[in-house]
Amino acid sequence: MQKRLSEQISLDPLTNRTGDIWHVFLKGDFRDMLYGYKFDGKFSPEEGHYYDSSQILIDPYAKAVLSRGNFGVLGPDDDCWPQMACMVPFANTEFDWEGDLPLKLPQRDLVIYEMHVRGFTRHDSSRTEFPGTYLGVVEKLDHLKELGVNCIEFMPCHEFNELEYYSYNSVLGDYKMNFWGYSTVNFFSPMIRYSFAGNRDCGHGAINEFKLLVKEAHKRGIEVIMDVVFNHTAEGNEKGPTLSFRGVDNSVFYMLAPKGEFYNYSGCGNTFNCNHYVVRQFILDCLRYWVTEMHVDGFRFDLASIMTRGSSLWDAVNVYGNPIEGDMLTTGTPLSSPPLIDMISNDPILHGVKLIAEAWDCGGLYQVGMFPHWGIWSEWNGKYRDIVRQFIKGTDGFAGAFAECLCGSPSLYQEGGRKPWNSINFVCAHDGFTLADLVMYNKKHNLANGEDNNDGENHNNSWNCGQEGEIVSISVKKLRKRQMRNFLLCLMVSQGVPMIYMGDEYGHTKGGNNNTYCHDNYINYFRWDKKEDASADFFRFCCLMTKFRHECESLGLNDFPTEERLQWHGHSPGMPDWSETSRFVAFTLVDSVKGELYIAFNMSHLPTIVSLPERPGYRWEPLVDTSKPAPFDFLADDVPEIETALKQYAHFLDASLYPMLSYSSIILLLSPDSNT
């Protein structure tokens, strides 16, 4: 991109402004031409104004933003923030969607996969033609199909600057990057440097690569959800760069204190002023664009609680149309009926897509189970994560809460009229330990981030199974694999929507680093070679468990299970133990496809023999036992000498008993008894 000003056109408020809209009509050939805006006005930070006519700003509505062409490569003169400019749209850029339409999968049927576009195929072992790009993901979509995933949740794919944190990391001898991308520069533009085309064709090629990815995912029955960051931008606080919103109208786009200071509910320097009437219309326009033009199927809203806070310059008249008695709301006050959430929920285009809130923010507003929902919003269920981690590692006092998680968290969602599928269940996500690290480390090991291990969450509810790190005894390794299977089984038999984090299906480790935001390297890259080696036995288990979930009618219910369908058990049938010291939870579940399931979790350090519910004319047959080595952990048709394996259980099952090892879980199926 040449940093050369071709033309500057001044706008006259008499002829180029209608109401609050500035406009100009230009004729000519705009191919290979870029544009930006200049805003003249008062520069007075203490009044919230940062107008500077010398700055060329990005159009907030630009459909592609160009600067550097290659990911992680410095600009001219080693500039991390070279001049950015906007693509000029032109008519003859039609994309052949081949009749693509929204899949509209019922949310209760989803298995979500949280993915980082670059990290998924950047490692050499991916052997893709276009590693680290949208096209690279297309090459590997069949992996997700095999895994049983029918929904991808992309970590941020809006334009951001990966060099925002660029600095030498003496620990690893490389450079820190903004790898995750939670620092948006422009909300309409796809991340240009995730494309193979890069700056070529002024960004049109990058747009079409993203569209191709969505189209190819849809062909395989996989929906696409975008992780969007409408809580802050890359402009930071008063010390940050002026790129777009700040120079356009700082006091409109950001929450400001009376003397121009930036509120920081995001923890990233500024807070997007979401419920201001201009900003909420901007967000609505953006979401509509990604649904109608890019064909995405929904959104996960990062730090979504910020979207429920009152805006600065709060005015009940411009929000509700009339003043409200006793309207004393201050900036950032949580609103029971936030105008932005109301508009999204009732929009004719957005009402029908998946809407998922990360229902907390960095200002202490925690709304899991209480996010304003209009009956359609779902939530990342952080309470599910915390409770499941505690119970499965054998902590006392969580049996009852764990049972609630298995039922879709009715105490959080039932009273407000929501359903089990409004709970997005997860054990691990991008932020925190991977599944392998959850059973490998008691403490975070974040020295590689160059912050003296001071960053990242200290309370991980993890357990290393007896020894810290990767080099441990064989018995500890076996227990870790068992615990990983326990977590995965729990996720797949819980009511609600399960979400898997990229790499957990083969046991990816980040070496105990629970905050890998800054690493464009092997720490964050999906290791295709690891997936293919000896650890592939866990990948097999994951595939079979997702397949089993899809086959069962009872594991994706539209409503919370009742006693007609679900019965709780303890070590004896019908006698559940909800005491403080209980580490055993079991239940039977009536299923119109499988007949009936018996599912039990023994998270005690002691083995036990379980008495099974009597079903005259039927007998219980083993399907899953996480204490068994692969392939006997899941008795699918590919198990060699499966009849011999089944006979090992026979004398117990003939007596309606089943032996369970410590830290193990099982699934049994009810079958007609051929002996009766």
Q: Give the active site residues.
A: 302, 358
Q: Which token pair is 520?
A: 């464009």
- CA dist., res. 384 & res. 365, Å (int): 18
- The angle formed by the CA atoms of residues 421, 427 and 432, to the nearest 5 degrees, is 130
Q: Which token pair is 396?
A: 């006392």
User: What residues contact residue 629 under an 8 Å CB cut-off, 6+ apart?
Assistant: 478, 537
- CA dist., res. 529 & res. 581, Å (int): 42
- CA dist., res. 121 & res. 71, Å (int): 14
- CA dist., res. 385 & res. 435, Å (int): 12
- CA dist., res. 83 & res. 55, Å (int): 10
- CA dist., res. 612 & res. 670, Å (int): 11
User: What residues contact residue 461 under an 8 Å CB cut-off, 6+ apart?
Assistant: 386, 389, 390, 393, 395
Read out DSSP for 451-485?
Answer: STT-SS-S------TTS-SSS--HHHHHHHHHHHH
- Region of residue 543 (phi > 0: left; psi between -120 and 50: alpha; otherwise: beta): alpha
- CA dist., res. 549 & res. 500, Å (int): 14
Contact 402, 475 (CB under 8 A): no
User: What residues contact residue 359 under an 8 Å CB cut-off, 6+ apart?
Assistant: 304, 305, 366, 367, 368, 369, 370, 371, 379, 380, 382
Q: Which token pair is 33?
A: 């031409």
- CA dist., res. 29 & res. 25, Å (int): 13
Question: Rounded to an integer, what is the distance from CA 636 to the centroid of its chain?
Answer: 31
- CA dist., res. 418 & res. 470, Å (int): 42
- CA dist., res. 201 & res. 339, Å (int): 39
- CA dist., res. 417 & res. 428, Å (int): 27
Among 557, 392, 614, CA closest to 488: 392
- CA dist., res. 67 & res. 182, Å (int): 18
Using omega within 30 degrees of 0 as the cis cutoff, is the peptide bond preceding 323 cis? no
Q: H/E/C letters for each residue in 17-44?
A: EECCEECCCCCCCCCCCEECECCCCCEE
Question: Angle of helix 536-551 relative to helix 474-493, nearest 10 degrees?
Answer: 20
- The angle formed by the CA atoms of residues 393, 421 and 308, to the nearest 5 degrees, is 95
Q: Which token pair is 527?
A: 């290791």
DSSP code at position 311: P
Please state whether beta strands 49-50 and 43-44 pair in parallel, antiparallel, or not at all (unpaired). antiparallel
Q: Which token pair is 410?
A: 């009715």
